[in-house]
């Protein structure tokens, strides 16, 4: 388990459905930033301790990986083949590594920014002139080194997928994409972390201020949000009464700073970046005032945010490539394609859902991600 905000909720649920039968292995050194539970055991991925522990398991045991990274694989090789291996899928640990993911995940403006940031981040001031020769060498070999790194990552993940027994997630469309990249024949098992829906009222939230349209873009300071391309799509509306909010409180700091620069340059005072973690009550108050949500991801990302916004009755735009779009279509959720924004009039862009559509979206999301389902899936997964 890494130090992430979903871990405490998982441990609480696991202890509820199978009390005192689980061992939680933390790959981070306490004290943690997010994980407050103290019943886990710290075992670093460096050294032999993790592999030695896994080697002691038997056919009656199950292993659950909460975030896969290359250093995990050598330890898994020591684990007996009859031990069931499960992946609790997150996204970034498998959808960023293949070469094909560059053209799949990134829209054109974002891809150019990412490539430029990687290359020019290599240069820095130095008092030693020889360091500049080293920096130039790194610059000239960057593409080759990135390609080699991607090949290594894909090779390791192919080995992992060949060993994987169960893929645990809330969207089977994602596993089909994983199989396209890495192969494998794992069983799909329904599962989702605590989405935190109990933190706010189960109702439709409407913006009381009709004089302005509040637009929410993305979920984090990560490249796959494709912020720049979203800005390009909506900048023709900048003279309208709109205000844009972009959460950038975690992720890639330099990318976040670049997005803030572009956002303020294009939209001026009508652009607000959220760069600090804020109390949950204040955060939910901001969400409730939004009219439009644009999640410009091509790969799975921001699932919790997306379904929270749908539950609140917000007008949602998703990319056509997104597997979340496919899931929403499958279950009859009303949403719109971000790909279509460039051809939309402002009136069409801001037109809200009918109240009946908001209520139906809320009903569907509540049914898919109910607490009853969450604990039933957890019980079946750990049984």
What residues contact 314, with CB distance under 8 A and at least 6 apart?
205, 216, 290, 291, 292, 293
Handedness of CA 87, 90, 93, 94 (dihedral sign): positive
For a pLDDT cut of 70, what percent of the chain falls above it?
99
Token digits of residue 323: 């597997």
**Domains (range + CATH), the chain:** 7-95+150-196+374-382 (3.40.50), 107-148 (no CATH), 197-370 (3.40.50.2000)
pLDDT value, residue 246: 98
Name the residue with higher pLDDT: 129 or 331.
Answer: 331
Arithmetic mean of pLDDT over the chain: 94
Q: What is the mean pLDDT of residues 77-84?
A: 98
Q: What interhelical angle do 172-182 and 323-331 show, nearest 10?
A: 150
> pLDDT band for position 119 (50/70/90)?
confident
Q: What is the mean pLDDT of residues 6-22?
A: 96
- Chain segment 238-282, per-residue pLDDT in tens: 999 999 999 999 899 999 999 999 999 999 999 999 999 888 788
pLDDT value, residue 331: 98
pLDDT value, residue 122: 67
Q: What is the mean pLDDT of residues 20-43?
A: 94
Q: What is the mean pLDDT of residues 359-378?
A: 97
What residues contact 350, with CB distance under 8 A and at least 6 apart?
213, 291, 292
Phi, psi for 33 (deg, rounded to 5): -80, -40
- Chain segment 154-187, per-residue pLDDT in tens: 999 999 999 999 999 999 999 999 999 999 999 9
Whether 300 has a pLDDT exceeding 90, the answer reads yes
Dist. CA 347–CA 172, nearest whole Å? 36
Mark 238-274 as b/e (b = at least 16 C-beta within 10 Å).
eeeebbbbbbbeebbeebbebbbebbeebbeebbbbe
What residues contact 109, with CB distance under 8 A and at least 6 apart?
226, 228, 229, 232
Dist. CA 12–CA 5, nearest whole Å? 13
């Amino acid at each position: 388990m890494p130090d992430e905000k979903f871990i405490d909720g998982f441990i609480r649920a696991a202890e509820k459905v199978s009390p005192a039968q689980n061992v939680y292995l933390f790959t981070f050194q306490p004290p943690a930033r997010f994980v407050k539970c103290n019943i886990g055991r710290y075992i670093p991925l460096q050294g032999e301790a993790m592999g030695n522990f896994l080697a002691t398991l038997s056919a009656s045991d199950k292993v659950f990986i909460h975030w896969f990274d290359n250093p995990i694989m050598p330890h898994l090789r020591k684990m007996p083949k009859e031990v069931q291996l499960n992946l609790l899928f997150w996204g970034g640990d498998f959808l960023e590594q293949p070469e094909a993911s560059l053209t799949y995940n990134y829209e054109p403006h974002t891809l150019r920014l990412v490539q430029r940031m990687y290359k020019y981040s290599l240069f820095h001031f130095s008092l030693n002139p020889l360091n500049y020769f080293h920096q130039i060498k790194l610059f000239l070999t960057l593409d080759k080194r990135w390609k080699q790194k991607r090949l290594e990552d894909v090779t390791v993940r192919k080995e992992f997928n060949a060993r994987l027994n169960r893929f645990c997630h809330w969207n089977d469309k994602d596993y089909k994409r994983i199989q396209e990249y890495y192969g494998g024949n794992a069983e799909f098992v329904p599962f989702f972390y605590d989405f935190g829906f109990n933190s706010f009222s189960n109702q439709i939230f409407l913006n009381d201020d009709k004089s302005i349209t509040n637009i929410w873009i993305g979920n984090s300071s990560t490249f796959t949000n494709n912020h720049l391309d979203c800005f390009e799509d909506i900048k023709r509306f900048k003279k309208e009464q709109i205000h844009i909010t972009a959460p950038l409180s975690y992720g890639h700091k330099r990318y976040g700073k670049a997005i803030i620069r572009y956002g303020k340059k294009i939209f001026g005072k009508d652009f607000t970046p959220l760069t600090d973690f804020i109390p949950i009550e204040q955060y939910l108050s901001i969400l409730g005032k939004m009219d439009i949500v644009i999640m410009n991801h091509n790969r799975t990302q921001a699932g919790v945010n997306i379904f929270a916004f749908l539950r609140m009755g917000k007008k949602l735009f998703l990319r056509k490539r997104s597997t979340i779009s496919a899931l929403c279509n499958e279950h009859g959720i009303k949403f719109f394609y971000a790909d279509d924004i460039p051809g939309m009039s402002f009136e069409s862009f801001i037109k809200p859902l009918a109240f009946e559509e908001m209520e139906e979206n809320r009903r569907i999301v509540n049914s898919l991600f109910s607490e009853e389902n969450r604990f039933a899936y957890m019980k079946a997964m750990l049984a």
